[in-house]
């Protein structure tokens, strides 16, 4: 089930329940009515995943990502993903810092024209993401 928050525009997908209807506080199906809320999903951690689409960069020169900087509140580790053309993806875990500013080094071998990015909380901990900045470097000669 895909749910849209009409106030913020946020979209969520619920895969563990076959809800036929949903309200801001409850979801229902043929077996009953379920209260929505809490920090777990029936005892399991809630893993969030967000993904930005792969977009064509400004130049035909291949790009190398030097670093990803994140303004992010939370504890534990998060996972940053770099998505290339098609289903190609590279994933990197990084610690969340108490300062709310952190960075995620990525592999130096990624050279793509189409780049997309993603973020997840693999341990299900809560987090707040305010900003993602990608520092990229163009190859001086590599186009293919």
Looking at the structure, tell me whether residues 134 and 90 fall in a common domain: yes
Looking at the structure, tell me whether residues 11 and 71 fall in a common domain: no
Looking at the structure, tell me whether residues 110 and 133 fall in a common domain: yes
Token pair, residue 41, equals 């999903």
Residue 69 lies in a domain: yes
CATH of the domain at 57: 2.60.120
Q: How many domains does the chain have?
A: 2
Per-residue pLDDT of the chain (144 residues; tens, 9 = 90+): 787 778 888 787 777 778 888 888 898 888 889 888 887 877 888 888 888 888 877 777 777 788 999 999 999 999 999 988 778 899 999 999 999 999 999 988 777 778 889 999 999 998 999 999 988 877 666 665
Residue 44 lies in a domain: no
Give yes or no for a contact between 135 and 96, defined as CB atoms under 8 angstroms apart. no
Looking at the structure, tell me whether residues 88 and 108 fall in a common domain: yes
Q: What is the pLDDT of residue 142?
A: 67
Residue 117 lies in a domain: yes
Residue 59 lies in a domain: yes
Question: 125 is in which domain, residue-wise?
Answer: 49-138
What HEC string does the chain produce?
CEEECCCCCCEEECCCCCCCEECCCEEEECCEEEECCCCEECCEECCCEEECCCEECCCCCCEEEEEEEEEEEECCEEEEEEECCCCCEEEEEEECCCCCEEEECCCCCCCECEEEEEEECCCCCCEEEEEEEEEEEECCCCCC
Token pair, residue 38, equals 């809490």
End-to-end CA distance of the chain: 41
Q: What is the pLDDT of residue 144?
A: 58
Q: What is the pLDDT of residue 117?
A: 93
Residue 77 lies in a domain: yes
């Amino acid at each position: 089930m895909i749910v849209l928050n009409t106030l913020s525009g946020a979209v969520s997908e619920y895969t563990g329940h076959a809800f036929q209807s949903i309200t801001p506080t409850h979801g229902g199906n043929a077996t009953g009515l379920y209260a929505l809320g809490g920090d777990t999903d029936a005892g399991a951690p809630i893993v969030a995943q967000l993904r930005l689409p792969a977009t064509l960069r400004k130049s035909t020169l291949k790009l190398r990502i030097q670093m990803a900087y994140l303004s992010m509140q939370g504890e534990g580790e998060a996972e940053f993903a770099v998505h290339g053309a098609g289903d190609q993806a590279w994933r990197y875990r990084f610690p969340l810092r108490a300062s709310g500013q952190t960075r995620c080094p990525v592999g130096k071998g990624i050279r793509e024209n189409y780049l997309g990015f993603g973020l997840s909380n693999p341990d299900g901990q809560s987090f707040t993401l305010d900003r993602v900045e990608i520092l990229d470097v163009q190859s001086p000669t590599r186009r293919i």
